[in-house]
Chains A and B, each alone.
Chain A
Amino acid sequence: MVERVAIVGAGWYGYKSITPELSYREIMYEAAVRAYNDAGINPRTDVDSFITVAEDMTEGTSIFDEYTPDQMGAVLRPNETIPGDGLHGLATAYMQIMTGLFDVVVVEAHSKASNIMHPAHIVAYAMDPIYNRPLQLHPSFVAGLEMQRYCFETGTTLEQCAHVVIKNRGNAMFNPLAAHPADLALSDVLNCEPVAEPLTRLMIAPPADGAIVFVLAAEHVARSLTDTPVWIQGVGWANGSYSLENRGWVDLDYVRLAADMAYRTAGIRHPKGTLDFVEVDDSYAYKELQHLEAMGLCRPGEAGVLTEEGATAMEGDLPVNPSGGTLGCGHLLDASGSARALECVLQLRGEAGQRQLEDVTTGAALGWRGVPTTAAAMVILSNED
């Protein structure tokens, strides 16, 4: 059996609000070339399997899998498309390597959100066709419902949610990859247009285009490819209740299950004491708080307080979303999870430039597939030998 799996190469393109200069094939190619160069591999000979994370409806093409191999150097090689978050893709690659039959696996994810003319309609298409879609509501209403209940039960305030926006878009100012850095004030966030109350426009992550490619390798190969392997210490993922009518709105069981599985596979008993920083989905600002609580990193209602106090700032005890998160980097659709993992990789390699955190050994990335899903995936990464 394989001992460990590492990320040995990473490449990206973007992230930007629009990318009219390149087609989706070309942004995938850009990210792939950088990743392969980083890992020092030739995809035509050195890679055992390729995974793309994509959904037909976001690409505007049925069976998008058809269009993945060429620009990845993957023609006539094992290729698979996973309709899921980038972290589901990483988990799949991890499983393939752990079988012992695949040494090097590539994971690709991208977003051409700017090419989708009516994004809310696409998200609405994911809702239950019989019970929910006929209401013809903007899908953010689901997040609005959840935020309302979450704040009500945990005592989290609107101001605390707004602080997440300020922190993350502020962090993004130090991230050259980020598409939406901004220096915001509390009143900006609280007083701008409501979208699905209590959500305001600035509490929702704006979209961005980009592509991210990772090269993963089994330990014995990883060591020959790089001096700075980033180990995938743990993985976990879970689905909750698809039905809006039957789900819990406050305690996210599926996040807790994903996190528990990740901690268990990583051998981590005290996550709060072990994780140096985390990158969690914050596509709606309150989600950062709700996710931190579901991951067991603080008690219900505590995340908002910790944010206000600065405990999750870059200089704080547990930096959350040093990259700027989805709010600051931009919502890369299903590639968002990859963006969270990419930040972990950069931080753990000491390549995070101005936003480099000191003395980090273990980080975690949590992705969520967005409204109306209850699908989450988590990866724990470490640079310790």
Chain B
Amino acid sequence: MRTRRVAVVGAGMTKFVRRSLETADELSWQAAKMALDSCGLTLDEIECVASGSAPDAFDGAHMKNEYLSPGSGAWNKPHIRCYVGGGTGVMTPIHGWYHIASGLFDTCLVICEEKMSSCQPHPQGAFLTIFDHTLERPLGPNLLWIFAMEMNAYMHRYGLTKRDLAQVIVKNRGNAKHHPCALLGEDIDIEEVLASEAMAWPVQRLDVSPISDGAVALVLAAEHVAHRVTDKPVWIEGCGWSLETSYWTNRDLAYPLQVEQAARMAYDMAGITEPRKQINIAEPYDPFDYKELHHLEGLMLADKGKAPEMTALGITRRDGDLPVCPSGGLLGVGNPIAAAGLMKVAELFWQLRGEAGGRQVPGNPKRGVAQAWGDLMQVGTVIVMGIA
């Protein structure tokens, strides 16, 4: 059955900064306005708003989407928020996709915002309550614990060293030098990464992406509108999402099975049978260095345990056979949770249209995949985008 085609026709984002002067609502507005301006549409022409934002505790507002609705352009419009933890940044465009693919709407504003800095004394505090209230919170866990344990399981399974992982930091921070909104674009020495202080072994300070504030917005349109608005619509070809069990202590953490499930769903929808040949750019979720590798394997773009080798061979460099995180990723641009994921989708939009400036992947890339991940290491959200 043929489903209604939906394209991304505009995109906008704010800088990702450690602490912004703008309020959450203002950040949303800045990104939304930029996205509309980028394709010459006005708010009147937007029929619905699909928003995404991660823990309400960051911005300090219960029912956060209501608080953000004015800046999100949702006044007197249909507005529904989706929320799947760290996976939200890629779930939100999927959420926007089915708004239009359902036939109910022809245009949709997709917006993701995160103002982590309002959570004091440290935004990490918002993550203290993601753990099971009875069996885990009394032990005083924090987010670093689970990343460290997952990293350890992955390294142990495949006999990886920190050097294998740290090369991702060097690549992504380097890529981010050409991103106008990046927080940490720079040339960094791998030795500096390896020498950085331990936080939760095996996690060291420079393995981690920075807490940030920021917002990103996309404009989606049904086919007939897309063709009127732009001569280079970027089509949403496949969507997939999957959620693993909350009993994460029972799982095999060395492989993100839910990312594979989500990828299969998206690839099926997009008609992709050989992802390594048919995908030109990958933007997997990289809040930590090992995550890019973990997710490349889940996306079936690398064999299990082989993503580090692929990276070492230069295959994932911007000028390599399969550029990975040409944007600079979360590690280089910043990690305002939901906005970070959407930043990756916006990157594909700009890359496929040849508008990525200094970050442009050469060779006229036609198809890209963006992926996000989150919850208690449980959710995988995948989107495949393509240009004619």
Contacts and interface: CB of A to CB of B under 8 A. Distances in A.
A84 B80 contact: yes
Select the residue from B57, B63, B69, B81 with max chain A CB neighbours within 10 A: B63
Nearest to B53: A83
Interface in B54-101: 54-57, 60-67, 69-70, 74-85, 91, 95, 98-99, 101
A57 B60 contact: no
A302 to B, nearest CB: 24
A11 to B, nearest CB: 21
B70 A242 contact: yes
B244 interface: yes
A88 B99 CA distance: 12
Contacts of A82: 80-83
Contact of A66 (B49, B262, B375): B375
Contacts of A62: 55-57, 126-130
Contacts of A257: 76-78
A65 B85 contact: yes
A76 B56 contact: no
B55 A56 contact: yes
B62 A126 contact: yes
A79 B258 CA distance: 11
B76 A69 contact: no
A43 to B, nearest CB: 13
A37 interface: no
Interface string B347-388: 000000000000000000000000000111011000000000
Interface size class of B (residues with CB under 8 A): 35 or more
Interface in A49-68: 55-58, 60-63, 65-68
Contacts of B75: 239-241
A51 B23 CA distance: 30
B243 interface: yes
Contacts of B74: 239
Interface stretch (A92-100, A198-206, A323-331, A347-355): A92-100
Given A243-B70, A261-B78, A373-B66, A65 B57 contact: no
A337 B133 CA distance: 27
Interface string A63-87: 1011111100011111111111000
Given A60-B133, A63-B85, A78-B241, A238 B79 contact: yes
Given A62-B55, A239-B79, A67 B246 contact: yes
Given A62-B57, A239-B66, A369-B66, A70 B83 contact: no
B103 interface: yes
Interface in B128-147: 128-130, 132-133
Given A78-B242, A81-B84, A129 B60 contact: yes
A261 B75 CA distance: 15
Contacts, number: 193
A126 B62 CA distance: 4
Contacts of A254: 76
A22 B9 CA distance: 48
A123 interface: yes
B146 to A, nearest CB: 11
Contacts of B103: 1, 98
Interface string B286-300: 000000000000000
A101 interface: yes
A152 interface: no
A137 to B, nearest CB: 16
Query: How many A residues are at the interface, by size bracket?
Result: 35 or more
A50 to B, nearest CB: 8
A66 B240 CA distance: 17
Contacts of B269: 101
A30 to B, nearest CB: 18
Contacts of A88: 80
Contacts of B99: 95
A84 B246 CA distance: 22
A29 to B, nearest CB: 13
B265 interface: yes
A373 B63 contact: yes
Contact of A83 (B4, B83, B85, B129): B83
Contacts of A55: 56, 62-63
Given A62-B129, A65-B375, A96 B102 contact: yes
Contacts of A274: none
Given A1-B4, A126-B62, A61 B130 contact: yes
A164 B131 CA distance: 42
B1 interface: yes
A172 B77 CA distance: 34
A153 interface: no
A367 B78 CA distance: 14
Contacts of A304: none
Contacts of A129: 60-61
A65 B145 CA distance: 20
Interface string B243-266: 111110000000001100110010
Interface in A221-267: 235-243, 253-254, 257-258, 261, 265
Given A75-B245, A78-B240, A128 B79 contact: no
A239 B63 CA distance: 13
A122 interface: yes
Contacts of A372: 66
Contact of A63 (B54, B67, B91, B241): B54
Given A68-B243, A95-B104, A80 B61 contact: no
A365 interface: no
Given A80-B91, A242-B67, A70 B245 contact: yes
A80 B77 CA distance: 22
Contacts of A68: 243, 246
5 contacts: A78-B241, A99-B3, A100-B101, A126-B62, A257-B77
Interface of A: 1, 55-58, 60-63, 65-70, 74-84, 88, 91-92, 94-101, 122-123, 125-126, 128-130, 235-243, 253-254, 257-258, 261, 265, 369, 372-375
Given A76-B258, A78-B262, A375-B66, 17 more contacts: A65-B83, A66-B246, A66-B376, A68-B246, A70-B246, A70-B247, A74-B243, A76-B242, A76-B245, A80-B95, A81-B83, A82-B83, A83-B83, A88-B80, A99-B3, A369-B63, A375-B79
Q: Which 3 A-B pairs have the closest CB atoms?
A: A98-B102, A79-B243, A95-B102
